[in-house]
Amino acid sequence: MEGNEPTVLGRLLALNRPLVMGILNVTPDSFSDGGRFIDPVAAVQHAKDMIREGADIIDVGGESTRPYTGAKPAGLEEELARLHNVLPAVVALGTPVSIDTIKPEVALWALQQGATIVNDVWGLQREPNMARVVADHSVPVVVMHNRYKADPNINIVSDINAFFSYSIELAEKAGIPRRSIVLDPGIGFGKTPEQSMLAIAKLAAFKRFGLPILVGASRKRFINEISPSEPMERLGGSIAAHVMAILNGATIIRTHDVAETLQALRVATAIRDMK
């Protein structure tokens, strides 16, 4: 159980500014940068670059969770093998590391290597043991809204709120303190492009839980629907979405492009805070 000392994430949130989570995919098939950082040397160097650019957290994933292109699931041993020579080396750089996984076994291994946050794209609702792993290690968890299939006929804001309520219930039953939970509306996951945009536009609806909100719109497909572009050509759209997210109440931004995103957030919040 968590004591009175704040978690790593709690200390970062106490800085009272937007946080930037840099994405490090050590996968062959992620929708945007699959294969670029399979080599451990390249992966660790990319983490160093993102830290130099100002990343507050490095989010390391060994299995693609791309929601709309049918990525092949990685087996447990394969996912661990991808992470084995990367995650401990990234932890050693000294910046907080989150593990992006849906497997409790991978989360456990990563926490034993020094990761300090678990990022679960199924919000503790897919693998029953995930909440117990998080609780046993007294670390924060990002619970992301997800659906197996987009349904254009549902009220996506209501669906996200109901999902969050259940995830929080699971977390608290497992012994995860409420202050250790971060909410992620899951932009692009189980949503139409219009629903992804609506989730950002209506972000204030999720503040009812009184918890930090993370948004990861980086290079997502909805940008292509507005301005046709390949994933690597969506920097402008990503920044626009992330600025809107911060202005609508997000606390953490998850991005592939740390330097550009951080500059945009600094300018946007400086203008917002002018008296």
Instruction: Tell me what pLDDT residue 27 has.
Output: 86
**pLDDT 10s digits, 79-137:** 999 999 999 999 999 999 999 999 999 999 999 999 999 999 999 999 999 999 999 99
**Tell me, what's the pLDDT at 65?**
73
Which tens digit of pLDDT belongs to each residue from 42-80? Answer: 999 999 999 999 999 999 999 987 544 455 678 999 999
What mean pLDDT, rounded, does the chain reach? 93
For domain 18-272, the CATH superfamily is: Dihydropteroate synthase-like (3.20.20.20)
Quote the CA–CA distance of 12 and 7 in Å, as a whole number.
9
248 has pLDDT over 70: yes
Spatial distance between the Cα atoms of 26 and 22, rounded to a whole number of angstroms = 13
Please list the active-site residues.
Answer: 220, 254
Q: Label residues 181-209 b or e (16+ Cβ within 10 Å = b).
A: bbbbbbbbbbbbbebbbbbbebbebbeeb
Q: How far apart are CA 130 and CA 173, in angstroms?
A: 12
Q: Which residue has the higher pLDDT, 31 or 99?
A: 99
Query: In this structure, are residues 118 and 142 in contact, taking their beta carbons and an 8 Å threshold?
Result: yes
- With H, G, I as helix, E, B as strand and everything else as coil, classify residue 62: coil
First to last CA, the chain: 42
* Kind and range of the H or E run holding 144: strand 141-144
Q: How far apart are CA 105 and CA 134, in angstroms?
A: 11
| pLDDT score for 32 | 52
Helix (H) or strand (E) holding 131: helix 130-137
